[in-house]
Amino acid sequence: MPTNDVPDVSVVIIVYNDEERLPRAVRSVLDQTLNNLEVIIADDCSTDGTERVARSLEASDPRVRYVRLEQNSGGCSAPRNRGIEVARAAHVMFLDSDDELPRHACKSLLLVAEETGVDFVTGEVTRLFEETNTTGLWYPHLFTERRVVNGIAERPEYFFDHLSTNKLYRTAFIRDNALTFPEGIHYEDQLFSAQAFSLAESFAVVPWSVYTWRLAPESVSISSSRHKIQNVVDRIGVARLIDAWFEETGRAGLRAEKDYKFLRHDFRLYLGDLVFRDLDWIAEFADVVNPYLDEIADETFARLSREERICIHLLRTGRLEELQVAARQLGRPQLAPRFVTEDGEAAYWGAVAPADEASRTELDISEWHMSRQVLTSGRLRHELTSVKMRGPVLCLEIRTYDPAGLITDGTVASIKLAAHKKPLAVPLVLRPDGDGQYVSAAELDLRKVPVGKVGVATRRHPVVALERDGAQRTDVLLAEHDQPDYRATVTYHKFGIHYLRVKAEQKGAGRLEVTWQRSGVLKSLEPLGPYARKAKAKVGKVKKILVGNEGKATAYDVVSKLPRKRSLAVFEAMEGRGYADNPRYIYEELKRRNLPIDVVWVYSGNRASFPKGVPLVRRGSFAYGRALARATYWVDSHNLPYLYPKPKGTRYLQTWHGQTFKAMGFDVPSLRQASAAEQEQFRAGVARWDALVCPSAEFERTFVPAFEVSADLIRSGYPRNDVLVRWAEPEQQARVAAAREALHIPADRKVLLYAPTFRDAARRTGQSVRVDFEELAPYLSDEWVIVVRTHPYDNFKIAPELGHFLRDGSTFADINDLMLLSDAVLTDYSSLMFDYANTGRPILLYTDDYEAYRGGDRGTYYDLEEIAPGPMLTTTEDLAAAVRDLDGVQERHAQRYARFQEMFCSYETGHASKMVVDAFFEGGTHD
């Protein structure tokens, strides 16, 4: 690079004996969208061909500079410090030779740095696991939004962001503060980052990935050497250096937050590994770490999870065998202790009640409410006591620990092992053997595990499955870390030979692990590299033509020209997710009248909710297309795939699946701004409708013009709401009793249904669940059970310690069961509130993110504050107070509730199913 050209960013790439991967790292910098930068290759005196490769890279691009240390330093610090010395840009970044920068990293970080004037900018790290080609994020909760932090004391959680490589620093900030990486120690990032955070007047955070951390399966790094005691010594050593620096610079007030980070991250890594260490190693570990733990304040330990506190207490009191047992529970909330001791109203971890006050404090697990759990969310533990192989047959002996008494008469157990799709399931007989303990044995013939059409190359883990009264769960099967490895050669019919290995997993909880590896002809297909990928792509293209959408569309077009089957109707609800919604109640009205219509139901996943004997067809299959092509009637709640134009002579009843609070159809900006082709496809899909079920005048005002509906309107109310209007009838009360029994809700508990809608920008993240249940439980758990029913587009899992208070309602295909069951509903912006108003029961709205939701890209038709039929709540305290005073809530909101019903329930009479069948089937044209 010419000396008069000053780069905007210097990227220091440190390298040692990495000639193969260095070019990739350099290329990731040279290909940045920011062109005016320099690459400094800082070589820690490599002994392989790294120097030759680096000098070649230097010669190929004037932006590359090569510097070489005279002797190897044995760490990352010295080459980084050398890079800082020679950097010419106003901003500097660091990159390891085995990693990469995303293409826009430098430019995006520089723009933020120049805009904000901060000392450094930090961003998200993508961890790329090369063995599986999967990715994960580094502490994603720290990088949810763009922000400027005015000193670490304002947001001390950023001590967890201790990497030096995901940051763009002002070079002057580093040099003016004489900030260097400490040489001669490991974990140098920790001290450097702690000092940088503490010295910075301000730093910025960006919510996008700025660094790709590649994790190779064969790599042996400092951080992956936790099995060495010296590694522990090094980690404690750098923690002490940080503490000393805090003291020397008058920043001792930051020590508690750094200690919390140390316990939750650094020390926590070793705790999780204790499952795989012998007792001698653990004893040596205790000798190293306990003196440092003794220096940490009790208040800091109190911030940890109960599982972590139990492990630390057992470590500090020398109960090392019990520590190994407890360590398996870390991060695995459904894993039970082996034993629980009850003493009065308190419950303690372990087989005996604690004798001293400290043990009673640290081992108290009363907060887990073990005795009030249900099968689906309580804690269990299955440990292998013997693993043997007899040829291809895996012989297992298991001890199950059930301290919560979840296993009762009628519980059916099995072991399941999958390699491809469908698992092998082997029955398991649990024989009582001591208080809260069971023993069992099983033989898994690995030849019987389905492996697909071309075999598999995969790693899987057997699980123990339990089922009772429709409730199901699966749990891991724990193996001893030093159990023998077993190998077998298995020939699968038509699929060739596989090599199998059975061993204990050496990470996580230490599950039993089975690995399949192809051999022979099947194995020879795997290493063909790009040729195999090209061949696969060609095969995929042919497959798409034959059996993909192109093939299905062609087959559909041919069949749709045949005459209609006069009696055939295709019913689909919720895109095939179950027997529910408006189509269910229309179907049941048809059955009541015994009309000569043959109904085929569509399914897309679990078929358990459909009545026995009902013909089913899988959504998207060729059979699905054939059924649609021949049917005289289509009945659907979501809009059938655009792939299928409506044949001549077919009549399409669209019931839709809810009234409109958020904008729909052409009122959504993304559709308004879409291409003409996308808009025309949408219009064509809606134009197929012959009739649309209409629940209210408001629906006509909002939904109908937004979708440009031209179909006939059936102003009947929703068929699914008939049971809500007529909730007191014996048939509905029987559903209530069945739902209470299925959810194991005690007779003396009232039920609150919590049903939030999804957030468009955060699908599948669980972020729609805004209520803090842990904080709410002490207020309500003595009187109430909350049934949580998230939207199908979202995810939520009940923590075991809340199993006494929460129930998972996702297993109910028809949400009407839950609405009938509940004494009140808690929602936010879900259209469920319009349906629930038909019951006349209290409606509560938890809307702590209302301004953000209303101001989102989609927008809403109403100001919720103007139409809300109940209180809009934003805090746990207000929510608890409202639930405790439902009579008062109803009284105070009576007029608003009545107006809400008038707006959104005006067509609801409890006879919508009859009216729809009259209008569409009895009054419609049948030819």
Torsion of CA 305, 307, 311, 316, to 10 degrees: 40
Find, among 792, 839, 790, the residue nearest to 819 by Cα. 839
Question: What is d(CA 527, CA 525) in angstroms, rounded to the nearest whole number?
Answer: 6
300-304, 391-395, 532-536, 837-841: which range is least confident on average?
532-536
Dihedral class, residue 280 (left if φ above 0, else alpha if ψ from -120 to 50, else beta): alpha
How confident is the model over 180-199, as pLDDT tens digits?
Answer: 999 988 899 999 999 999 99
What is the helix, strand, coil percentage profile of the chain, to 5?
40, 25, 40
Q: What SS3 class is residue 590?
A: helix
What is the pTM for the complete model shown? 0.82
Looking at residue 536, its pLDDT comes to 44
Secondary structure (DSSP) of 261-310? HIIIIIHHHHHHHGGGS-HHHHHHHHHHHHHHHTTS-HHHHTTS-HHHHH
Question: What is d(CA 802, CA 372) in angstroms, rounded to the nearest whole number?
Answer: 9
Q: Where does the pLDDT of residue 246 fall: very low under 50, low under 70, confident under 90, or very high at 90 and above?
A: very high
Question: What is d(CA 784, CA 493) in angstroms, rounded to the nearest whole number?
Answer: 55
Long-range contacts of 170-173 (CB under 8 A, 24+ apart): 170/90, 170/91, 170/113, 170/118, 170/119, 170/120, 171/10, 171/84, 171/87, 171/89, 171/90, 171/91, 171/92, 172/90, 173/119, 173/120, 173/199, 173/200
Span 377-399, average pLDDT: 96
Q: In the β-sheet with 424-428, what is the strand arrangement from edge to edge?
A: 424-428, 412-417, 463-468, 471-476
Residue 550, pLDDT > 70, answer no
Question: What is d(CA 645, CA 560) in angstroms, rounded to the nearest whole number?
Answer: 9
The CB density around residue 310, as the number of other CB atoms within 10 Å, is 26
Residue 221, pLDDT > 60, answer no
Question: What is d(CA 805, CA 784) in angstroms, rounded to the nearest whole number?
Answer: 7
Cβ atoms of 480 and 504 within 8 Å: the answer is yes
Find, among 759, 813, 761, 807, the residue nearest to 784 by Cα. 807
Identity of residue 745 = I
Find, among 659, 384, 677, the residue nearest to 513 by Cα. 384
Long-range contacts of 279-283 (CB under 8 A, 24+ apart): 279/320, 279/321, 279/324, 281/227, 281/229, 282/320, 282/323, 282/324, 283/320
How confident is the model over 82-99, as pLDDT tens digits?
Answer: 999 999 999 999 999 999
Question: What is d(CA 412, CA 185) in angstroms, rounded to the nearest whole number?
Answer: 55
How confident is the model over 333-342, as pLDDT tens digits?
Answer: 889 999 999 9
Question: What is d(CA 88, CA 438) in angstroms, rounded to the nearest whole number?
Answer: 69
How confident is the model over 907-923, as pLDDT tens digits?
Answer: 999 999 999 999 999 86
How confident is the model over 413-434, as pLDDT tens digits?
Answer: 999 999 988 899 999 999 999 9
Query: Which residues, in sequence order, are CB contacts of 296 under 8 Å at separation 6+?
Result: 259, 262, 263
Question: What is d(CA 925, CA 921) in angstroms, rounded to the nearest whole number?
Answer: 8
Residue 400, pLDDT > 70, answer yes
For residue 339, give Cα distances in angstroms to 144, 352, 355, 482: 40, 9, 16, 23
How confident is the model over 38-60, as pLDDT tens digits?
Answer: 999 999 999 999 999 999 999 99
For residue 411, give Cα distances in angstroms to 135, 405, 427, 436, 824: 38, 12, 12, 14, 32
How confident is the model over 789-848, as pLDDT tens digits?
Answer: 998 778 788 888 899 999 999 889 999 999 999 999 999 999 999 999 999 999 999 999
Question: What is d(CA 48, CA 97) in angstroms, rounded to the nearest whole number?
Answer: 14
Find, among 695, 883, 705, 863, the residue nearest to 782 by Cα. 883
Question: What is d(CA 574, CA 819) in angstroms, rounded to the nearest whole number?
Answer: 18
Find, among 268, 286, 148, the residue nearest to 229 by Cα. 286
Torsion of CA 911, 915, 921, 922, to 10 degrees: 110
Looking at residue 562, its pLDDT comes to 80
Question: What is d(CA 620, CA 810) in angstroms, rounded to the nearest whole number?
Answer: 24
Q: Where does the pLDDT of residue 560 fall: very low under 50, low under 70, confident under 90, or very high at 90 and above?
A: confident
Cβ atoms of 12 and 92 within 8 Å: the answer is yes
Question: What is d(CA 770, CA 847) in angstroms, rounded to the nearest whole number?
Answer: 8
What sign results for the dihedral spanned by CA atoms 573, 578, 583, 587? positive
Identity of residue 90 = A
* 137 phi and psi angles, rounded to 5 deg: -110, 150
Find, among 132, 138, 131, 135, the residue nearest to 167 by Cα. 138
How confident is the model over 282-293, as pLDDT tens digits?
Answer: 999 999 999 999
